[in-house]
Amino acid sequence: MKNLYSPWRIDYILQEKSDKCILCEKPKANDDESHLILKRGEYSYIIMNLYPYNNAHLMIVPFRHLAKLSELKEDELLEMARMVQLCEKVLTNVYHPEGFNIGMNLGEVAGAGVADHLHIHIVPRWAGDTNFISTIGKTRVIPEKMEEGYKKLKNELNKLNNAEEK
């Protein structure tokens, strides 16, 4: 068997586990950059997925702790849909993906990593982004540091916000 070293994961493995909801706690910290929060709205926020399926994998998360889509109020749902549109635009401008997977996993049996706090995934896709290592080795290779991706995406969001204000 061959080994693929990922020494950065040891911090996650050894960290003290919390019973608090990570998607509720990150925005409370008021340190958006270190928590990879790209944008805050009135009802929801955009965050980079710390354990992405692909490079620049984003999530839209409501501030309210909800497990079901039917629990969202109309304003929350509308803002989240607009955030999805914004993510599509920003990711297209920065990374030029050839497609997207956009969706939700509601409930643990549906694949939700955080089953009791719904969120929308936006995963940019490119031809050939699934290769032998992900197919055979069940391992994802993310080619960019999270901090570099954060800066690129944040800069593009700022450009778009400035253009809208004019």
Instruction: Name the token pair of 113.
Output: 């990593």
Q: What is the mean pLDDT of the chain?
A: 84
The partner residues of 37 in beta bridges, in order of sequence, read 47
- Of 35, 57, 119, 121, the catalytic one is 119
Active site residue 57: no
Of the candidates 32, 58, 54, 33, which has an alpha carbon nearest to the alpha carbon of residue 129? 54
> Is 17's pLDDT higher than 70?
no
Residue 39 to residue 28: CA distance in whole angstroms: 14
pLDDT digits (tens, 9 = 90+) for 23-65: 999 999 889 999 999 999 999 999 999 878 788 999 999 999 9
Output 152 or 146, whichever has higher pLDDT.
Answer: 152
Residue 76 to residue 14: CA distance in whole angstroms: 36
Domain 20-165, second-level architecture: 2-Layer Sandwich (3.30)
> Is 138's pLDDT higher than 90?
no
pLDDT digits (tens, 9 = 90+) for 77-92: 999 999 999 999 999 9
Residue 17 to residue 29: CA distance in whole angstroms: 17
| Cα–Cα separations (whole angstroms), residue 159 to 37, 46, 138, 144, 164 | 17, 16, 37, 22, 9
Q: What is the DSSP letter of 51?
A: S
| Domain ranges (residues) in the chain | 20-165
Q: How confident is the model at residue 135 (pLDDT cuts 50, 70, 90)?
A: very low
